[in-house]
Amino acid sequence: MQTSIACCEGGVTAAKGFMAGGSACGIKKKGALDLALIFAEAPAVAAGVFTKNRIKGHSLKLTQSRIGGGGIKAVAINSGNANACLGPQGDRDASGMAEIAALALGVRPEEVLVASTGVIGQRLDLALIDAGMANALAALGKDGTVAAKAIMTTDTFAKEAAVTCELPSGRTVRIGGMAKGSGMIHPNMATLLGFLTTDASVAPDALQQALYLATEVSFNAVSVDGDTSPCDSVILLANGMAGGPVISLDSPDFNLFLEALTRVTQTLAKMIALDGEGATKLIAISVRGADSADTARRIGRAVAVSPLVKTAFYGADANWGRILSAIGNAGAAFDPDTVAIKLGGALVCQNGCAVAFAEEETRRILESKEIAVQIELGSGPGEAMVWTCDLSPEYVRINGSYRS
């Protein structure tokens, strides 16, 4: 079945019947793009996965209340301001942003979803959004890149991915998306925003389930710094414009649709890890041989979040003792005496002990842009993949003065 999924050009507008645009409305300094708009030509079914942080942003809460059914026509997103921790005013501003977008697009406010990312605790300036909406509307079209740029905060590149997929029922559907990182990135969402669209026709519960499963092994398997934010949201819109019968949870098309969606979310998730604040390397951690997938995931996350592991990767230092120590720190059950660790394919630890390895060759491996860390626990069938990045002095520089 693998062969019937193919990567294609584009992002959030790759699917039929979706347009996007963006503008610089002035929330960010220096005229950077900060307002994005997604428009669905036909009303879309919407699914969403949201932060597990107990502090939730006002824009997120409004979107959460509008998700789960059909009839969604647009998403308005601002960067530079999180619209979080502002009390009832924040809720009013979230509704206000939806109203501004609705008025511009000629749809009803409740057909609009909103998202915000940026500094916490500063009031969102709706006058700026109002003034910038006309330009975002004028930019609306099949090029999704302006929108992908407008949702960025400290990201250094726009993140877009798309696939086409021929389903068992014979229809060809497209799934595309855009995402932003790049600090506060951790399993269970972080300042992560992801917007996905498809022209497949999908039932609300099937769409929600597919998004949940695809997110678990992609956006929720990425860690940049262990922090999560009040604004993290991944939204998936399905407008059905590819035609054909509705994909339900038990329809034969569901599994391939999920696989195609996962291809898009994993591609975006890896881009987020690679573009982690100050990151110079992508670290792909595979954990195998755990007693369960949950244990494997917990161990992978403990390694991904360890500052000592991440600084060692920054320094191209084959300090596998830190990896082993982070595994031991995961609060998960495993046998220390059966652990093996490979860095870029080179065995550095076996049976929980040091193994003689070629330091120079390993250093060369660790100087590459993408490093595979393989952890074999030797005690069961559980496995998981987790992506992270190294920790560089640049991370500190970026975050020491984020508000300034």
Active site residue 154: no
* CB 266, CB 217: distance < 8 Å: yes
CB closer to a copy of itself out of 141 and 307? 307
Amino acid at 44: A
**Active-site residue, selected from the candidate residues 13, 154, 164, 191:** 191
Neighbours of 34 (CB within 10 A): 29
Q: Nearest distance from residue 306's CB to a copy of itself, in Å?
A: 5
Q: Give the residues lining the site for a copy of itself (CB under 8 A).
A: 53-56, 82, 84-87, 119-123, 183-184, 186, 225-230, 305-308, 311-312, 314-315, 317-322, 324-329, 334, 336, 349, 351-354, 391-393, 395-404
Amino acid at 17: G
CB closer to a copy of itself out of 109 and 321? 321
Q: Is 194 exposed, middle or buried (0-12, 13-18, 19+ CB in 10 A)?
A: buried
Query: Which residues, at least 6 apart from 92, have a Cβ–Cβ distance to it below 8 Å?
Result: none
| Residue 360: HSE in the Cβ half-sphere, 13 Å Cα cutoff | 0
Amino acid at 26: G
| Main-chain phi, psi angles of 398, to 5 degrees | -60, -45
Q: Nearest distance from residue 351's CB to a copy of itself, in Å?
A: 7
Q: Nearest distance from residue 90's CB to a copy of itself, in Å?
A: 8
Q: What is the rounded CA–CA span in Å between residue 376 and residue 343?
A: 12
CB closer to a copy of itself out of 248 and 374? 374
Q: Per-residue DSSP letters for 58-81?
A: HHHHHHHHH-SSS-EEEEEEEEEE
CB closer to a copy of itself out of 165 and 273? 273
Q: Nearest distance from residue 252's CB to a copy of itself, in Å?
A: 39
| Residue 213: HSE in the Cβ half-sphere, 13 Å Cα cutoff | 17
| Six token digits for residue 9 | 């050009």
Radius of gyration of the chain (CA): 21
CB closer to a copy of itself out of 172 and 329? 329
CB closer to a copy of itself out of 1 and 358? 358
Q: Nearest distance from residue 302's CB to a copy of itself, in Å?
A: 9
Cα dihedral angle (300, 302, 304, 305), rounded to 10 degrees?
A: 160
DSSP state for residue 246 in the 8-state scheme:
P
| Six token digits for residue 218 | 């992609």
CB closer to a copy of itself out of 125 and 227? 227
Return the biggest CA–CA distance within the chain: 68
CB closer to a copy of itself out of 3 and 401? 401
Q: Nearest distance from residue 271's CB to a copy of itself, in Å?
A: 21
Q: Nearest distance from residue 7's CB to a copy of itself, in Å?
A: 33
* CB 252, CB 270: distance < 8 Å: no
Q: Are strands 222-223 and 382-389 parallel, antiparallel or unpaired?
A: parallel
Q: What is the rounded CA–CA span in Å between residue 386 and residue 323?
A: 14
DSSP state for residue 368 in the 8-state scheme:
S
Q: Nearest distance from residue 309's CB to a copy of itself, in Å?
A: 8
Which SS3 state, helix, strand or coil, does residue 165 take?
Answer: strand
Cα of 169 vs its chain's centroid, Å:
29
By annotation, the residues acting in catalysis are 191
